[in-house]
């Protein structure tokens, strides 16, 4: 049917326009609703303590009140502090993992965080359809009858696909560099915390093993000195956790926990310090120096304290120095411009669908995964709010308290051999 032979019905054109607008409004409402909701993790994750929640990890219990109406985006980061167990790894390797992950797409925090962007893409795609079909190119009603455009002589807006084909490799390279850089920051932050865990263990282990009863024969004094060392060692990762966290989230729990686990004068001095991790390192140094042991052994403990200082500085470097803003901003502008202009090139490719309306869901899916790559990089760029630092601190506390208990366990007495510097069991 030629354009000249089509029946021109303004009433039908208006109804067709309203139907398309209503469809887009419904789609936008669905996206908006997913952007303001947050789904509670599945029960198995709660039962196995897979997710570590602020203020709750200290007691190894999940505060279910934390699940009440949290919002996606920044608030959801505290629910992403995953700690895997063997059962969690088995669950992640199940053959049906692909179907489960596809089925939970709409519950993804990335999808919810992109609600506004996806709405804009859907609206823009609809505007392209309305302009090129209803206003300038002609349209087809539900009965399959073609109609002339509402405005004769109005040009259609299209872009050649070659523009996007030629520019897509450059965009891909920029996104790859963006995501790799962000992941490397997360990996380095996790490696530094692994080093902190190892060296805090080493400090207490060496202090307990090398505390010489010949230099200090009173076991109660030795026990008190080791107790001071273990509590000072725990105060460092806990102070660093607070140092790298939001004050609204962790300031009061930090003060409460410090006052519970440290002596009053030490606790208040730590709370009042301008740089709390450095104050903790100061306390560790003095506690280690007070131990009765040869100075060469004390020097080895100081080597581990020096590593803690380096790890603290590395964490501060990651936290305070983002990926250069000129790069992240240019990548975001490139990505958003590329995606928002894509409907003008895809419009003729959907001529097989009714009034090209198939372009709307197609563009929404494309935008979801394109914007999702940039969103993942943004979420990983600052790694500390998604690392379970409180869980690490709690584990360090439990282990530092166990080492002195092992050393003074009456069921396993210790003595010295010919070499007075080495402690040997019976």
Q: What is the pLDDT of residue 281?
A: 96
- pLDDT-based confidence at residue 29 (cuts at 50, 70, 90): very low
Q: What is the pLDDT of residue 423?
A: 34
Exposed, middle or buried, 379 (CB in 10 Å: 0-12/13-18/19+)?
Answer: buried
Higher pLDDT, 231 or 56: 231
**Per-residue DSSP letters for 151-182?**
STTPPP----HHHHHHHHHHHHHHHHHHHHHH
- pLDDT-based confidence at residue 13 (cuts at 50, 70, 90): very low
CA distance 416 to 424: 6
* pLDDT above 90 (res 179): yes
pLDDT in tens, 101-141: 888 777 777 888 888 899 999 999 999 988 888 888 777 77
CA distance 131 to 123: 12
**Per-residue DSSP letters for 322-356?**
-S-HHHHHHHHHHHHHHHHHHHHHHGGGGTTSGGG
- Report strand pairing: 146-147 vs 139-140: antiparallel
CA distance 28 to 122: 7
pLDDT in tens, 59-85: 333 333 333 444 456 766 776 777 888
CA distance 335 to 313: 34
What are 423's strand-pairing partners?
416
Contact 400, 200 (CB under 8 A): yes
What are 416's strand-pairing partners?
423
- pLDDT-based confidence at residue 409 (cuts at 50, 70, 90): low
Q: What is the pLDDT of residue 72?
A: 55
pLDDT over 70, % of the chain? 77
Pull the structure tokens for residue 117: 């962007």
CA distance 236 to 196: 9
pLDDT over 90, % of the chain? 46
Q: What is the pLDDT of residue 408?
A: 65
Q: What is the pLDDT of residue 73?
A: 64
* pLDDT above 50 (res 384): yes
Computed over every residue of the chain, the mean pLDDT equals 79
> How large is the average pLDDT for residues 347-363?
87
Q: What is the pLDDT of residue 403?
A: 79
What are 146's strand-pairing partners?
140
Pull the structure tokens for residue 169: 């490799």
């Amino acid at each position: 049917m030629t354009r000249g032979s089509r029946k021109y019905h303004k009433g039908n054109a208006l109804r067709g326009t309203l139907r398309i607008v209503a469809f887009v409004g419904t789609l936008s409402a669905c996206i908006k609703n997913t952007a303001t909701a947050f789904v509670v993790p599945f029960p198995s994750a709660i039962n196995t303590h897979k997710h570590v929640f602020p203020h709750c990890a200290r007691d190894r219990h999940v505060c279910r009140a934390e699940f009440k109406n949290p919002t996606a985006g920044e608030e959801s980061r505290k629910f992403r502090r995953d700690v895997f167990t063997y059962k969690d790894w088995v669950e992640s390797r199940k053959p049906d993992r692909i179907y489960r992950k596809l089925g939970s797409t709409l519950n993804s925090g990335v999808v919810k965080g992109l609600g506004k962007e996806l709405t804009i893409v859907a609206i823009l795609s609809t505007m392209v359809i309305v302009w090129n079909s209803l206003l300038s190119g002609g349209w087809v009603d539900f009965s399959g009858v073609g109609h002339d455009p509402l405005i004769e002589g109005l040009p259609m807006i299209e872009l050649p696909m070659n523009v996007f084909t030629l520019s897509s490799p450059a965009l891909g390279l920029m996104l790859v560099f963006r995501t790799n850089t962000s992941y490397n920051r997360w990996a380095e932050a996790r490696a530094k915390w692994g080093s902190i865990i190892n060296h805090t263990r080493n400090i207490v282990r060496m202090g307990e093993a090398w505390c010489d009863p010949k230099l200090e024969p009173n076991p109660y004094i030795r026990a008190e000195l080791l107790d001071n060392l273990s509590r000072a060692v725990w105060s460092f990762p806990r102070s660093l956790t607070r140092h790298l966290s939001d004050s609204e989230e962790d300031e009061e729990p930090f003060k409460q926990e410090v006052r519970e686990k440290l002596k009053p004068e030490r606790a208040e001095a730590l709370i009042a310090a301008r740089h709390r991790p450095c104050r903790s390192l100061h306390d560790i140094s003095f506690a280690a120096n007070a131990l009765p042991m040869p100075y060469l052994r004390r020097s080895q403990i100081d080597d581990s304290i020096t590593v803690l200082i380096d790890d603290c500085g590395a964490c501060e470097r990651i936290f305070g120095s983002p990926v250069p803003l000129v790069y992240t901003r240019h990548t975001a502008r490139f990505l958003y411009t590329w995606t928002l202009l894509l409907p003008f090139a895809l419009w003729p490719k959907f001529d097989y669908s009714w009034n090209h309306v198939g372009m709307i869901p197609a563009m929404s899916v494309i935008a979801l995964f394109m914007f999702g790559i940039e969103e993942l990089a943004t979420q990983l760029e600052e790694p500390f709010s998604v690392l379970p630092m409180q869980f690490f601190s709690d584990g360090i506390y439990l282990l530092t308290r166990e080492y002195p208990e092992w050393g003074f366990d009456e069921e396993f007495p210790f003595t010295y051999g010919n070499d007075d510097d080495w402690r040997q069991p019976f």
